[in-house]
Amino acid sequence: MYLKNLSLVCKLYRLIITPLKCFHTNSRHNPAFQLPSFLQSSSIALNLHQGKQVHAQLILNGITTANPLLLAMYLRVGSFTDAKNLFYRMDLGCIKRWNLMIRGLVKMGSFHFALMFYFKLLGCGVSPDNFTFPSVVKACSALNYLHGLVVSCGLDSDSVVANTLLSMYSKCGWLSDGRKLFDMILQADLVSWNGMISGYVQNGFMEDALCLFSEMISSGVKPDSITLSSFLPAVTGLGSLRKGREIHGYILRHGIPLDVFLKSALVDVYLKCRAVDMARNIYNQSTKFDIVMCTAMISGYVLNGLSNDALEIFRWLLKEKIRPNAVTLASVLPACTDLAAIQTGKELHSSIIKNGLADRCHVGSAVIDMYAKCGRLDLAHRVFRRLTERDSVCWNSMITSCSQNGKPEEAINLFRQMGRTGTKYDCVSISAALSAIANLPALHFGKEIHGFMIKNSLVSDLFAESALIDMYAKCGHLDLAQHVFDMMELKNEVSWNSIIAAYGNHGHLKDCLALFDKMLKNKIQPDHVTFLAIISACGHAGKVNDGVHHFKSMVEEYGIPPRMEHYACMVDLLGRAGRLDEAFKAIQSMPFSPDAGVWGTLLGACRNQGNVELAEVASRHLFYLDPQNSGYYVLLSNLLADAGHWRSVLKVRSLMKERGVEKVPGYSWIEVNSTTHMFVAADGSHPQSKHIYSLLKTLLLELKREGYVPQLYLRMNPKEIVS
């Protein structure tokens, strides 16, 4: 440790003290001794205190201090006051001095001061030149100012100024103005084309980017690796695998160097277009790897359900001592969610804390999401509370987590807290809150949010409107859901899916299929969610053959590969009709391992049909995949009790006790006079519980008089079995 500190001291001596002494000594004999070179080097090495020492030495030796290099030094070390004081002692008629000051302030991030000095420049009667405007435009970009002053000075045709203006328009989202400027450039160079294409992509205008890229090729301008790296995300956004392959072929034919950024962009295209093998080939053929490419592979693998492969790359990163950044960690966390690998997730969380990334909002949101989806909402809450700064993404993540984990009341409370903190609601916040309301349900609060959407011009957001349709439908108001749908100016596949699912969930199969036909006539391509809603509706209506037909149609006519949820829906469809053998064969034919949802659906069907043999097969898988879910144990136990298999019932209850699984009490909600009441089985906390149970007893007596016979299949107290 001592030697390390000594080495550091020696290094500082060589870099700072020795040159400073040399300057002091030589400046006495030669006042102009290497002043420019010394100040240029010292402006990097010196801090403000040492910079002032140099300034003082110059004054002592009678050397003029109105030197631009001294001004540059103060700007580089971030001392605006000293720079300003020195600047006003200089020749203010020289545009170079103004340019130096403005450029330095922009680099410091002092954009307001940079523009203030620009207006002072005009006030002094000094004419700006082509070196002034790039810095001014950068300041404008940060502060969203317009650039009419460039045109008035006749410098709008200068390529450097024009390209900087294009960059400003892209950052501000003013693409129409940017395109007008681009079209006015007499000879657009490669930088201009790149700037315009990049602007379109960054602002989500993928079709425009595609058209402009084709125009660029037609005009004879050869794209470089920067062009292609900027353009490829447009291909990703459009989901065009064919176009991605065309671009890849163009790169190879024209010998464009495949740098790390271009490779990463290609990998991203292939993975997001589900061409995993193509992406893997590019990755495996690479000789150099950086964090950007590895992150692209990790996020792509997660997207394609290859979570084990994603974790393998992450482990390789750590082995090669490549330090993961915040984006990498946020990308790998969903892999833990998919695998329900909470221990791995905790290890990643520990790594995030050690690397000082825990306070980054997008990382914190990913950690919250991971814990919530692994069933540890308590840990998600803890992470959320410890975040020093919370943006809308963090709030949205926590609200969504509560809603998806059966805590709609908590989700709504968080939504209210979010508003009280001054964090602006966005379409994701609204959608998450509406989803929670739909699960509660709480129609009065849903209407409040609907009013808020109208007041704050959020009704034009397709996703928020679709969530509104879902909320009204789940609250039992199909008419209001239809009204929202009819009032929508634009409709996409999400909107159509919402209204189709609404009618399907209410058992209106004819309306559901009629809407599907309308969707096709409106040239909206159905997706996997559309068919999930239709197959589910067929199941609820008992139309098994129709459901099977639509499942086959999805695969054969529309080329949509069935997902886990489609198979679960088919199992439910066949199970409801008592065709359990076919349901089991459907599970066996799956191209991937069935999850707990699929086996749980089969177990539920076995319970309804009284099939003990298949139920035991399903439960073996369930007790392995989701051993802490009490519902599966209770379902099997009830089925065995129905069949009179008492010893097996005791075994299941004993297994629950051994594994520490506690039965979650049943609960429900009801809304009366705009107040939501929650009821939990065997709970007497409600203020009117005595009256409620008295009325329930009366209803049970009335049911018995009508001939209802309860299934008293347990000959002993259930508590005795559990104990």
605-658: pLDDT as tens digits:
999 888 999 999 999 998 888 888 888 888 888 888 888 888 888 888 888 888
Residue whose structure tokens are 């007790």:
623
Indicate the residue type of 699. L
**DSSP letter (8 states) at residue 490:** S
Which range is most confident: 11-20, 117-126, 528-537? 528-537
pLDDT at 146: 46
Which range is most confident: 333-342, 517-526, 622-631? 517-526
User: Which residues, other chains included, contact 638 with Cβ-Cβ below 8 Å and sequence gap of 6+?
Assistant: 607, 713
Cα separation, 279 vs 286, in Å, equals: 11
For the segment 454-467, the average pLDDT, to the nearest whole number, is: 80
pLDDT at 47: 61
157-195: pLDDT as tens digits:
566 777 777 776 776 666 787 788 788 777 788 888 988
Cα separation, 142 vs 138, in Å, equals: 6
Q: Are 33 and 27 in contact (CB under 8 A)?
A: yes
Q: Are 532 and 565 in contact (CB under 8 A)?
A: yes
pLDDT at 81: 79
Q: Are 308 and 330 in contact (CB under 8 A)?
A: no
> Residue 670: in which H helix or E strand, if any?
strand 667-672
For the segment 277-296, the average pLDDT, to the nearest whole number, is: 87
Which range is most confident: 34-48, 119-133, 417-431? 417-431
Q: What distance separates the 2 farthest-apart alpha carbons in the chain?
A: 119
Q: For residues 169 and 204, which has the higher predicted lDDT (pLDDT)?
A: 204
Cα separation, 295 vs 504, in Å, equals: 40
pLDDT at 2: 36
Which range is most confident: 290-294, 574-578, 627-631? 574-578
Which pairs count as long-range contacts for 707-711, CB under 8 Å and 24+ apart, including other chains? Answer: 711/642
Q: Are 314 and 332 in contact (CB under 8 A)?
A: yes
pLDDT at 392: 85
For the segment 401-429, the average pLDDT, to the nearest whole number, is: 88
Lowest mean pLDDT: which of 133-147, 225-239, 606-620?
Answer: 133-147
pLDDT at 172: 60
Instruction: Indicate whether 340 pLDDT > 80.
Output: no
Q: For residues 684 and 394, which has the higher predicted lDDT (pLDDT)?
A: 394
Instruction: Indicate whether 37 pLDDT > 70.
Output: no
166 class by beta-carbon count within 10 Å (0-12 exposed, 13-18 middle, 19+ buried): buried
Cα separation, 567 vs 554, in Å, equals: 12
Residue whose structure tokens are 């690998």:
341
| Residue 678 banded pLDDT, cuts 50, 70, 90 | low
pTM of full prediction above 0.75: no
Lowest mean pLDDT: which of 144-148, 318-322, 422-426, 521-525?
Answer: 144-148
Lowest mean pLDDT: which of 167-171, 391-395, 702-706?
Answer: 167-171
Q: For residues 259 and 93, which has the higher predicted lDDT (pLDDT)?
A: 259
666 class by beta-carbon count within 10 Å (0-12 exposed, 13-18 middle, 19+ buried): exposed
Give SS3 for 667: strand
**Tokens read off for 584:** 């089991």
Lowest mean pLDDT: which of 301-310, 424-433, 447-456, 663-672?
Answer: 663-672
Task: List Cα–Cα distances, 15 to 9, 11, 39, 699, in angstroms.
Answer: 10, 6, 13, 91
Give SS3 for 671: strand
| Residue 512 banded pLDDT, cuts 50, 70, 90 | very high
Instruction: Indicate whether 548 pLDDT > 90.
Output: yes
For the segment 554-572, the average pLDDT, to the nearest whole number, is: 91
E strand residue ranges, 553-680: 667-672, 675-680
**Cis, peptide link before residue 128, omega less than 30° from 0:** no
User: Which residues, other chains included, contact 603 with Cβ-Cβ below 8 Å and sequence gap of 6+?
Assistant: 615, 618, 619, 622, 632, 635, 636
Q: For residues 6 and 125, which has the higher predicted lDDT (pLDDT)?
A: 125
Calculate ∠ Cα 14-17-23, nearest 5°: 110
Cα separation, 175 vs 205, in Å, equals: 9
254 class by beta-carbon count within 10 Å (0-12 exposed, 13-18 middle, 19+ buried): exposed
Query: What is the crossing angle of helices 596-609 and 580-588, to 10°?
Result: 170
pLDDT at 63: 57
Q: How does the average pLDDT of the chain come out, rounded?
A: 81
